[in-house]
Amino acid sequence: MTAKIISGKDVAADIREQIRAEVETLAEKGIQPGLATILIGEDPGSHSYVTAKNKTAKDLGFHSVQETHGADISEADLLALVDKYNRDEKVHGILVQLPLPAHIDENKVIAAIDPDKDVDGFHPYNVGRLVIGQPGFASCTPAGIMELIARSGAETEGAEVVVVGRSNIVGKPMAIMMMQKAQGANATVTVVHTRTRDMAAHTRRADILIVAAGRANSVTADMVKPGAVVIDVGTNRVGVTESGKAKLAGDVDFEAVKEVAGAITPVPGGVGPMTITMLMKNTLISAKRHAGLDA
């Protein structure tokens, strides 16, 4: 039996409509969520991501500001730019697009962002609050995955969850979210990575398998438990289509795994649309908090 497809595109569209409705309500009170994005250098992927983020923000009715600077910007000037938006009352969320040029300390830049405007959820303050289960801003990709799992109907309480990958952006926060004592979580979590001795032995136990390995088709059908929910975080360029567009593949061998899994996210159209959507949701939450409203 072929797996049910979990459409991140559809879920993201639903959440964006909810955000748009809230933005309209806030406008009646004279409140407009504001997002500032800072892009350094000429990385094509970063330019694409930031363009999409600004387009989405404007479409939802946000005040959106984009700062684009060359790769030769000094660390001091970038930190001054962050401080400018920390103090800007029209801006409720600040995003510095990563990666940054080698001469700039990413950790220093992330730490310079006001934690109350850290809508990416990367600041150590927000990571710490996530670990102890207190309100803050959660990293956007894992937060989006939580929405996908919830809307797939998967039972998480007591479930065996295996996370492939241990990055600070996806793997680690994902594991923390799934193990929280909270609705939609309460799972037993295992994290596997490049030094795991027998990865397949772990992945075959997973009721919910979340793959953020960073390698195309690295999880194959024989590594998946029949009926499992499979969330594929990967977006890997593996060639060019006949029309000249980039051909994408996930970290999961989709065609083979969909015949084993109970539900699976596609690439593209799965986790990707959720990341930007959760960034918008975090910015909305920040605007409401700054206005003294329940978020």
Residue carrying the six token digits 């952006």: 169
Identify the three-state secondary structure at position 276: helix
User: Across the strands, what pairs with 39?
Assistant: 68
Q: Strand pairing of 93-96 and 188-192?
A: unpaired
User: Across the strands, what pairs with 34?
Assistant: 63
Q: Is there a catalytic annotation at residue 53?
A: yes
Q: Which among 97, 117, 207, 281 is annotated as catalytic?
A: 97
Q: Is there a catalytic annotation at residue 58?
A: no
User: Across the strands, what pairs with 69?
Assistant: 40
Task: Please check whether residue 70 is in contact with residue 41, taking contact to mean a CB–CB distance below 8 angstroms.
Answer: yes
Q: Which among 53, 117, 172, 258 is annotated as catalytic?
A: 53
User: Encoding tokens for residue 246?
Assistant: 């980039």
Task: Please check whether residue 265 is in contact with residue 283, taking contact to mean a CB–CB distance below 8 angstroms.
Answer: no
Residue 189 burial (10 A CB sphere; 0-12, 13-18, 19+): buried
Q: Which among 118, 120, 232, 253 is annotated as catalytic?
A: 120
Q: Sheet of 4-5: strands edge to edge? A: 4-5, 263-264, 229-232, 208-211, 160-164, 188-192
Report how far residue 264's alpha carbon sits from residue 165's, in angstroms, rounded to the nearest whole number: 18
Residue type, 257: V
* CA 83, 89, 90, 93 torsion-angle sign: positive
Q: Is there a catalytic annotation at residue 43?
A: no
Query: By C-alpha distance, which of 273, 142, 294, 159 is closest to 211?
Result: 142
| Residues classed as catalytic | 53, 97, 120
